[in-house]
Structure 1
């Protein structure tokens, strides 16, 4: 008898961003000088003081099991961070520390979604939203959020099986910051129709233009908002796998059981590093933000001058999402094959991303300038 793996893994598409990272890694191993404009890794060296905090914790013996919800000290610091940035008052008991933002998202969905339930997901949107919904037995329902969050479009997609909506601000891949009135419209719909809100604010510390509005700041929906956040992008800690969930009051006691039966807990020394990172926020984060903003301003202007491309300065993060007058998959393939520049096709993030590219400015300044020069010389591929 031939054994069959479960549909939850057989039916999943691989992560487009991870696949591109592996393709770039293989090309470099073969001797090609590929410049990556495709990665969501900010490529920042973790501050030595953060590394030392982890090392010190290991030397002091913090290498054993810890509380599944996370260390009390880190949860208190995260609650203080939320109060300062979003104005939302969280009890540390309503915070769960997770191995990265992706697991925080998965834990939120596992807490909300039963088999057959529907979750409204943004398109274009992060490549893992839909697969995480499917792993929970749910059905992702794509909602066009390219240029705005349209309450009429959302309302039309709501059914009796709708259990949650995912709202990402600043958005990946577009770097758009969702304004307060659009968040308020989503909040009103969630109250009217009775569904959860997952608010992914992973890029919230890297806003360049205007104000950043948090869904959890709206007290009328605090009892239905799960906040997903991560240390990865803010502090250059992608490999540390450290994130958190901020939950509605009283729900963490149930959700933490998923943590107990899956990962159990995060390493204490990783959490010590996170605590140190939060203490350095005011010193290092403005510097990172300014660096990315300068790169984005330079890159957006140069790309906008390429015939067939239209690129505006993004609101946040380290992504650009230029429109291209050519099939986006063909542009990405052409650049990788002919000029050794890696870019993500916008269609990788859902159908509404077609005709765009997601370009990241996470490489060095020298590599970014070289990549932009190669793109300017090559331009878009000629139609067959």
Structure 2
């Protein structure tokens, strides 16, 4: 069998996907025997499960025929698009219309769509590069799933962040803005904020700098709000989602308790959203419609906001506090560990500040004790010379 160039790229698992496969194979005979501290599902919160089940039962009873038994618009169902525009206009004082919204089958697909449209072979009008443009991650490490977005090799580039120690057991990353400004091959900027895996939220001055760069290069800045404002707020944000001609905001319901149903949406200027809708029409047709009805109900009724405020936010805050308490109490002083002092999130991002340390060696050692963690190197694209990545 011969694969095309794109086929060869997309048929290969990105780094963390191989770890997820290893976890699945290793735990197949008895997952209860393993402690999985690695990548996985959002927590199964009983109150969240009950609320989404109730909303789904209502949609099933009232909307099944119209939602599931016929095709729908590729932009998203009229009910959900109207719910999104109404929610964000009221919450943030925006003036969105349906032309500013694209609903997709998960935020991964929306990011993939944007990457395919705005970066790749060919010359971007605002670029001096002759070899095409790339998806630039302004801060590496960032979400490992971004590395599988591009259909061409070496299409994703990460700008290494500088680790800055804070006290004895904390550190924080700083943007490498000089290196970012030097890139002449930017097709799209892509950033998770609050970040996966660090929990780091971009502040107002950093956001201004990123938007300014996107404006000067006439490229989109895609901000992935999977953990932040307005839902699920697992990690507090320092700034609200920005409404700007050069920003695409991406939101998902996955971390609000609905990861399996693959519903997300992008908000941005028509110039970015219109080709994204066409791409979705050509590739996936549209997102699952029954779940679009469920999310529309959650938004318009206020039940999503109540679920986030009363259940999801307190749940993750308490678990984060417990984890930090255990680190201080249990980890020995002989280990030079530092926890990223991000603003929360689902993950605890450790830097073992020792040149002899190797992340994959620890992965294999803990695996012998039937414990899974995630080797950090998989969150650093194309930076093998960076010793911090291991």
Q: What's the TM-score once normalised by structure 1's chain length?
A: 0.82
Structure 2 residue 115 is matched with structure 1 residue 109: yes
Which residue of the other structure, out of 274, 281, 285, is the alignment partner of 2:304? 281
What's 1:163 paired with? 187
State the partner residue of 1:97: 103
1:128 Cα offset (Å): 2.3
Structure 1 segments (4+ residues) deviating >6 Å: none
**Would you say the 8 A contact 1:98–1:242 is kept in 2?**
yes
Corresponding residue for residue 291 of structure 1: 315
State the 1:171 CA deviation: 0.5
**Paired position in structure 2 for 1:381:** none
Match of 2:125 in 1: none
How large is the Cα RMSD of the aligned pairs?
2.6
- Displacement of 1:108: 1.5
**1:142 aligns to what SS in structure 2?**
strand
Shift of 1:155: 0.5
Matches within 5 A, 1:68-83: 68-83=74-89
Matched-pair contact (CA < 8 Å) for 1:225–1:247 = yes
TM-aligned CA deviation for residue 22 of structure 1: 3.1
Q: 2:186 matched to 1:186?
A: no
Structure 1 position 348 matched with structure 2 position 370: no
1:140 equivalent to 2:168? Answer: no
Which whole-Å CA distance do the structure 2 matches of 1:27 and 1:84 have between them? 48
How far does residue 214 in structure 1 lie from its aligned partner after superposition? Answer: 4.0
Distance 1:229 1:67 in 2: 19
State the 1:261 CA deviation.
1.0
**C-alpha contact (below 8 Å) 1:232/1:242 kept by paired residues:** yes
User: What is the alpha-carbon distance in structure 2 between the residues aligned to residue 250 and residue 271 of structure 1?
Assistant: 24
Secondary structure (helix, strand or coil) at the match of 1:216 reads: coil
Structure 1 CA distance for aligned equivalents of residues 388 and 119 of structure 2: 33
- Quick one: which of 217, 227, 245 aligns to 1:223? 245
Instruction: Determine if contact 1:183/1:215 at 8 Å carries over to the other structure.
Output: no
Question: What's 2:238 paired with?
Answer: 212
In structure 1, the partner of 2:2 is: 4
Work out the CA distance in 1 between the residues paired with 2:60 and 2:35: 32
Deviation of 1:170 (Å)? 0.5
- The alignment partner of 2:111 has SS state of helix
Please state whether the residue corresponding to 2:13 is helix, strand or coil: coil
Q: Does 1:248 align with 2:269?
A: yes
Post-superposition offset of 1:137: 7.1
Matched, 1:317 2:345: yes
Specify whether residues 97 and 53 from structure 1 end up closer, same or farther in structure 2 by C-alpha distance, changes over 3 A only: farther
Q: List per-residue Cα deviations over 1:208-263 (Å, max 9, x = no partner).
A: 6764324524xxxx2221122211012x1111011111121354333321111111
Cα distance in 2, alignment partners of residues 59 and 196 from structure 1? 37
In the alignment of these two chains, the number of paired residues is 346
Give the TM-score normalised by the residue count of structure 2: 0.80
Quick one: distance in 2 between partners of 1:349 and 1:260? 31
- Quote how far apart the aligned CAs of 1:54 are: 4.1
Q: Which residue of 62, 70, 95 maps to 2:67?
A: 62
Q: 1:316 to 1:82 in 2, by over 3 A?
A: farther
SS of aligned partner of 1:245: strand
Q: How far is the alpha carbon of 1:100 from its aligned partner?
A: 0.3
3-state DSSP of counterpart to 1:128: helix
Look up the match of 1:52: 57
What's 2:363 paired with?
332
More divergent stretch after superposition (65-74 vs 245-254): 245-254
